Amino acid sequence: MALDYINLLNESQRGAVLHTEGPAMIIAGAGSGKTRVLTYRIAHLLEKGVDPFNILALTFTNKAAREMRARIEKVVGPEAKNLWMGTFHSIFARILRSEADKLGYPRHFTIYDTQDTKTLITQIVKELDLDDKLYKPSTVLGRISAAKNKLISVQQYMNDPVIKQDDEAALRPKIGVIYQQYQQRCFKAGAMDFDDLLYQTNVLFKDHPDALNKYQNIFHYVMVDEYQDTNYSQYLISRKLAAKNRNICVVGDDAQSIYAFRGADIQNILNFEKDYPELAIFKLEQNYRSTKNIVKAANSVIKNNQAQLRKSVFSDNEEGPRIEVIRAASDNEEGKLVANSIYEEKMNHHLSYDHFAILYRTNAQSRAMEESLRKLNIKYKIVGGLSFYQRKEIKDLVAYLRLTVNPNDEQALRRIINYPKRGIGDTTISKLINAAEESNHTLWEVVTNADQFLPARVSNPVVDFGEKIKSYAVVAGKDDAFEAAKFIAKNSGMIEDLYADKSIEGLSRYENIQELLNGIKEYVDDPEREDKSLASFLQDIALVTDTDLKDAKDEGESVTLMTIHSAKGLEFRNVYIVGMEENLFPSQMMITSRTDLEEERRLFYVAITRAEKKLTLSYATSRYQWGNLRSCEKSRFIDEIDPTFVEFKYGQEESPFAPVLERRSNLVGAQKIKPAAAPVKPYVPSPDFKPSDTTNLAVGNKVEHPKFGFGSVSKLEKQDGSVKATIQFEGGVGEKTLLLSFAKLRIV
């Protein structure tokens, strides 16, 4: 049976599978068959007679572990069930349950999830009478988590002058005290959080050599997947467990190390050879996923990183189309161009929407994409996050806007009456609700007359809240939707509250509010929109957000939207990477040091290598930021792609900041290679151009399009209540399939 799967491997893969003794590092380039190699390596060990109970295989996701075990079982049978295979956390929780008494924990200790830990931190902060705006649960938890991942104990944390200085500079000098009480409370409750599962395993192996020796004798072979994503704690555990037999095999790709913000340390893989001088290194360099153009483009980008393990990734697949770079005048136009491109690609190549993915650096960027996809009736799903309008912070601000327009909106009132906190507790809210029910008044009527239902001490903040909402209504009555929303966001305290949270989650929520305001600004800036009131905007998004995204998932065919971090490990036929602008990607927070910038470049490398057949990059020359139109600069990463593999395309809208069309005369050695096509000069519509009513459009009609020029209608067809027109355009543009409800056509 061994010959069956060994012959399925290329030379590099085969070498990695057959080398089972001693330390080994498998550097697996994107799309190089990493999972297959790891699977067959374990299968080969089992076929050699190694007891599955003596093999430890550590992964980063339960899904990866399940898939790998299933593949191994197909080769060697049910013995695969006896492998120690799973995530770091699941494997070490299993070990800790067996050895819990050594650490003073009960065998059946509780594992706290993130919400449990935040609730406990909130209680401790309250008991210590600390400012809950400074000591936000997510911020404190992030600090404690980072300490545990670096194996910093409570005592070390409180006695370290550098840590103490950092906390004082952040105006949070009591985090050490919270950390101490948090650990005491967890221990007293017989509970560990996720970080404890790694931290306490290190404590077990350090303080109890007998336990370490026991597991060293059990695990003759240790294998670690995605090694570039390990933190210091994970690195130390795997090194200790392999110290006796030295049969450790790590698999990973330094070029895909993108989780430093979670504690991952790229030095673990870069310096692996220092720990094991006798190391055997295998490089999996053949990419089976992507076209040659995509692979070569990715190589040309990642070569700019200094800290890396050099490899030459190649592909024997087809050459494939060049990478398209779309330049749009605005983020709004970027969304339209991307959505239109997806629609055309689907129709022209008979694809499913499942073949498409839109990747972005931050969740806030999904708004423009979602709205443009909806206008074309393209179904989509958000992965690794909620739909933009379903995110808590967005729903909170929209609740303020809804209550301003309709104070009898009870759900909106209950959502934000004590957010941000204003001293209206759950007991008070319950009394208000009861009073409304007993007096047959609306909740709003009770709120605005709270002094008649509650004691003065309790009713004062309620009355103040009611006055705030009334003042918002006055502003909304005289100003447009954007001015009203901006006033409400600031005056309510939401912006201040979110800005104060400097955690990754807090920054993301803050950016999302900014993005919502950008959307409202675009709404009121639309010259074709007559009603720019807050009520009109709310009606507009109520119709938009009424779309049930589950339908797209149930029916199977939908475009995938996700952050690049969420896309790691996935692949799609057509990939769009949007927002390729300086200070957005690379992020403004990641350009002040080489280490951070190289992580951003690795993130871009990951994004590029998700694409199988076609890759499109897009950027805007202007983008709204807090309601102001700002000039944007093309990302440096676009310029790092070898121009041989790039083709520039341009949007139609004018931008106040639109630079002169980029020229490609600066191609290095252009005379030695086949020159890339120069960008086509944008078509200029006729002076009298005005879109016609296309209700009675017929085959044979001559039309003018503001981007594609003149053409003749060759086909009309209905689909899902919409009409598609196939038009043969002149001037080398060729055939295009357009949705009449979206295309602006002038019938000549």
* Mean pLDDT confidence for 72-88: 85
Q: Is 34 a catalytic residue?
A: yes
371 is known as an active-site residue: no
Mean pLDDT of the chain: 85
Q: How confident is the model at residue 689 (pLDDT cuts 50, 70, 90)?
A: confident
**Is 744 noted as a catalytic residue in this protein?**
no
pLDDT for the residue numbered 574: 97
Q: Which of 39, 87, 200, 256 is catalytic?
A: 256
User: Is residue 506 pLDDT above 70, yes or no?
Assistant: yes
Indicate if the alpha-carbon torsion angle 207, 213, 214, 215 is positive or negative.
positive
Of the residues 361, 431, 610, 746, only one is catalytic, namely 610
Active-site annotation holder among 225, 265, 371, 599: 225
pLDDT band at 555 (very low <50, low <70, confident <90, very high): very low
Is position 653 annotated as part of the catalytic site? no
CA distances 327 to 332, 350, 583, Å, are: 12, 26, 16
- Give the 3-state secondary structure of residue 469: helix
Model pLDDT, residue 57:
92
pLDDT at 630: 84
What's the order of all strands across the beta sheet hosting 24-28?
A: 84-87, 55-59, 221-224, 248-252, 24-28, 280-284
Contact 24, 37 (CB under 8 A): no
Backbone torsions φ then ψ of 725, nearest 5 degrees: -120, 130
Output 70 or 219, whichever has higher pLDDT. 219
- 3-state SS, residue 571: coil
Q: What was the pLDDT predicted at 553? A: 38
Query: Which is it for strands 559-563 and 84-87: parallel, antiparallel or unpaired?
Result: unpaired
- Catalytic residue from among 99, 193, 226, 497: 226
Give 385's pLDDT tier (boundaries 50, 70, 90): low
Tell which wins on pLDDT, 660 or 525.
Answer: 525
State residue 721's pLDDT score: 62
Contact (CB, 8 A) for 440 and 406: no
Greatest CA separation found in the chain? 87
In this model, does residue 155 exceed pLDDT 90? yes
Q: Can you give the pLDDT at residue 301? A: 94
In this predicted structure, what is the pLDDT of residue 224?
92
Q: Is 265 annotated as catalytic? A: no
For residue 226, indicate whether it is catalytic. yes
